[in-house]
Structure 1
Amino acid sequence: MTWEEAVAFALSLPDTELGTSYGSPAVKVASNGRTFLFPGRERDTCFGIAMDLDRIEMLKETEPDTYWQTPHYEGWSGVLVRYDATDEERVRDTIRSSRDWSASLPKTRPRKRK
């Protein structure tokens, strides 16, 4: 699944919109502003999704060829998804779960400007 395919699928889910996160394109939950799909720092090989920490650990343990983290993401609610994942339906299910998890979170608060 390419970045473009992942974005297209994510935008087909309810209550989603294209936005930005840290200056890069991202897909967000429209009603609360939470980013759930983002390009990640390893843009050539994967994209990232938001997910609760327990689920991230389970995904990394059971499907390490698809789901992984660099030290940058460890301890944070984001997991990387390799573009060359063989089970695209599983990846779509995980993107859907990411949207659902992100939609359950409270609305983001504006950051204070320095």
Structure 2
Amino acid sequence: MATFDDVVRIAESLPDVTMKPAWGNRMWRVHGRGFVWERPLNRTDRAALGDSAPEGEIAAVRVDHELTKIALVESEPDRFFTIPHFDGYDAVLIRLDAIDVPQLRELIVDAWLDRAPTRLAEAYRGEHPAPGDQPA
């Protein structure tokens, strides 16, 4: 189970990240581009979600494509969800009490890589190869 402290720790461990509030909540950015943020549900969100509205801490994270968001929500609806406000937007909401820290880290790093400038992302990938990218 992850917490918002994990979100903060992971986001702030990445290069060139700043935290700047947006819409009254903390948002972490790389070169001015948001990649993960606090996203508590408001009254409209709760009305749209009805009985399925979660009660715990919620984070929003950018994804590389709307199809990625759909795949996450459909494959793991206990962890990921969306709201009408996010329709057409490449981001997914995460129930932090339903996700483990390694999976949260992967999502945040992927979001950071998607939003970071190309050179910065390439440098990071060079220093932190994905398990499948390491030479045999």
Aligned to 2:80: 67
Runs of 4+ residues deviating >3 angstroms: none
* SS in structure 2 at match of 1:84: helix
TM-score (norm 1): 0.79
**What does the per-residue CA deviation read over 1:20-57, in whole Å, with 9 as the maximum and x for residues that have no partner?**
2223211100x2x0111111132843110111212111
Aligned to 1:47: 59
**What does the per-residue CA deviation read over 1:75-111, in whole Å, with 9 as the maximum and x for residues that have no partner?**
2122101011243211110111011111158xxxxxx
**Aligned: 1:95 with 2:94:** no
Aligned to 1:17: 18
Label 1:70 to 1:4 Cα distance change in 2 as closer, same or farther (>3 A).
same
Q: Please give the alpha-carbon distance, in whole angstroms, between the structure 2 residues aligned to 1:70 and 1:103.
A: 26
| Count of residue correspondences | 103
1:3 CA drift (Å): 1.6
Bigger strand share: 1
Aligned to 2:36: 37
Opposite residue 37 of structure 1, the aligned amino acid is: V
Opposite residue 73 of structure 1, the aligned amino acid is: F
Q: Please give the alpha-carbon distance, in whole angstroms, between the structure 1 residues aligned to 2:117 and 2:77.
A: 26
Opposite residue 63 of structure 1, the aligned amino acid is: E
Q: Please give the alpha-carbon distance, in whole angstroms, between the structure 1 residues aligned to 2:82 and 2:3.
A: 18
**Aligned: 1:57 with 2:57:** no
Gaps of 5+ in 1: 106-114
* SS in structure 2 at match of 1:80: strand
TM-score (norm 2): 0.67
Q: Please give the alpha-carbon distance, in whole angstroms, between the structure 1 residues aligned to 2:73 and 2:117.
A: 23
Bigger helix share: 2
Over aligned residues, Cα RMSD in angstroms?
A: 1.9
Structure with max Cα Rg: 2
Gaps of 5+ in 2: 43-55, 119-136
Label 1:86 to 1:41 Cα distance change in 2 as closer, same or farther (>3 A).
closer
